[in-house]
Chains A and B, each alone.
Chain A
Amino acid sequence: MKLKRFEEIIGFTILGFSAIIVILILGTIIVNIISYGSNAISWEFISDFPKDGMTKGGILPTIMGTIFVTIITTLFSIPIGVSAAIYLSEYAKEGMLTRIIRAAIRNLAGVPSIVYGLFGVAIFVQGLGFGSSVLSSGLTLGLLTLPWIIATSEEALKTVPHSYREGSLALGATKWQSIRSNVLPYALPGILTGSILGLSRAAGETAPILFTGVVFFVPGLPDSVFDQFMAMPYHLYILSTQHHAIEQVRSLAYGTALVLITLILIMNFTAIFIRFKLRKKFQM
């Protein structure tokens, strides 16, 4: 009896400790970034262009660049990803082909992001002739998020009880009517959360955009999707490793990191909020 109790306490302590470590790491990162970065934050920092070889001024073009590129990623990956997920989970007959497709998706999710970057160069920049641009970068990031969106959407579709589909079909609905009005709405919270989380990851990626459209500096904001652009992750990378006066711009680098992390957290919280709202609406 006593030994059992002892084992229980030990086990519990180890597990609890592991959880605390995770929280500590996350906390340290955030505290670190806030404490170094908050000095740099000002209205000017987020609303102005960089000045004097990046040593002064703001990071507006990088924020806007990241937002633009994420919008393109969203427009590309959500429709295609969700459609593919619907096809896989609702229409495709289980068999060799679907197994291969699923394996491919899982493997794609594991491909290093730099490889996506190279692929983007080959396909979008050169192959399709989009050049080094917001479009090429957005599409490359789209490819990166696609496996994630397909996987989470398929998962979300699978959680919708089979009985809803049956009930709808038994009333004489077509397959598409059933999916549209009796499956998709209930899978939507899952799909949206999964997608936003995927997109927020993409927004923070550097490697895929490195070769496909991001630049260290352009005067002004991009006018069209074929323009080159600045982006926060890349800006952060330059400021902290490639700048001629690294020490001088350290606080700007932290400031950029803080803005980036805030943007990503906002996206994540939006995802949580949407999930909560829709869940409540459908009472699932």
Chain B
Amino acid sequence: MNNIIIKDLSLAYGEKQVLKRINQEIEEKKITAIIGPSGCGKSSLLRCINRMNELIPDAKIMGQIIFDKIDIYDSNTDVTEVRQKIGMVFQRPNPFPKSIYENVAYGLRINGLKDKNKISETVERSLDDCGLLKEVKDRLHTSATELSGGQQQRLCIARALAIEPKVILMDEPCSALDPASTFKIEELMVKLKTRYTVIIVTHNMQQAARVSDTTGFLYLGELIEFGNTKKLFTKPKEKLTEDYISGNFG
């Protein structure tokens, strides 16, 4: 089992407490969605899992996240290793202004892979996994910025997959995309969960309902409810969850 175990995780930006003692185990090879109103800390929680929050000045993180038998916040843990194992896809597609091929190869190169054949192989496989290979096969060496938004996002997923992570974090991956591209990415997520643990943050609860196996509802930095998606959307345990998912908030 390779679950992610979050223990007593608190996060503050300066004086502002963003996450309050979160305790939760996230199951492997499942899609876990985190929903909640804007500013509830869901993106922050996601960014704690691969230590991206450290990039924000005066972010204070307390508690532990155990993955692969180690505490990722331990002082002996190499942050780059954590991020290799726990990949991330961002809200806005952020392909580098390089060719499609180089975008996917980038992660391999910085991690020291030199064998050209192996790089080519991995690039093609990753693109294929994301259903992008057949769309871009004859223009692998043209700039990635020429792709459509949905294709760019799938490229970013392919880029994350290339370095063979075990977990993929997705921070509102479809919020900048049209419905058709959104459905494509959702199907991709469902396909990916056979091999990866997928954690997605979304403000779109219909999306959470559609794709995830498990859903967590985060409100004002606290994990109010966490459980089977079908249960959470048909008979939530907490009144607060019910109010949020049915739109009776405030």
Contacts and interface: CB of A to CB of B under 8 A. Distances in A.
Interface stretch (A110-118, A172-180, A192-200, A243-251): A172-180
Interface string A79-119: 00000000000000110000000000000000000000000
Interface in B34-88: 50, 52, 55, 57, 80-84, 87-88
A169 B55 contact: yes
Interface stretch (B1-9, B104-112, B207-215): B104-112
Contacts of A172: 80-84, 107, 110-111, 163
Nearest to A186: B97
Interface residues of A, number: 22
Nearest to B146: A283
Contacts of B50: 170
Nearest to A170: B88
A170 B52 contact: yes
A171 B90 contact: no
A171 B83 contact: yes
Interface residues of B, number: 27
Interface string A164-190: 111111111110010001100010000
Contacts of B90: 163, 166-167, 170
Contact of A169 (B52, B92, B96, B97): B52
Interface in B170-228: none
Contact of B96 (A93, A94, A167, A177): A167
A171 B94 contact: no
Of B52, B110, B143, B145, the most chain A CB neighbours within 10 A belong to B110
B110 A171 contact: yes
Contact of A168 (B57, B82, B106): B106
Nearest to B169: A170
Nearest to B50: A170
B42 to A, nearest CB: 17
Contacts of A174: 80
B30 interface: no
Of A168, A169, A186, the most chain B CB neighbours within 10 A belong to A169
B135 to A, nearest CB: 19
Contacts of A127: none
A88 to B, nearest CB: 14
B83 A283 contact: no
Given A186-B97, A283-B143, A284-B97, A171 B163 contact: yes
B159 interface: yes
Contacts of B19: none
A265 B9 CA distance: 60
A282 interface: yes
A161 interface: yes
A182 B55 contact: no
Contacts of B145: 283
Contact of B160 (A169, A170, A283): A170
Interface of B: 50, 52, 55, 57, 80-84, 87-88, 90, 92, 94-97, 106-107, 110-111, 143, 145, 156, 159-160, 163
19 contacts: A94-B57, A161-B94, A164-B97, A166-B52, A166-B94, A168-B106, A168-B110, A169-B52, A169-B83, A170-B50, A171-B87, A171-B107, A171-B159, A172-B80, A172-B81, A172-B110, A173-B107, A174-B80, A182-B96
Interface of A: 93-94, 161, 163-174, 177, 181-182, 186, 282-284
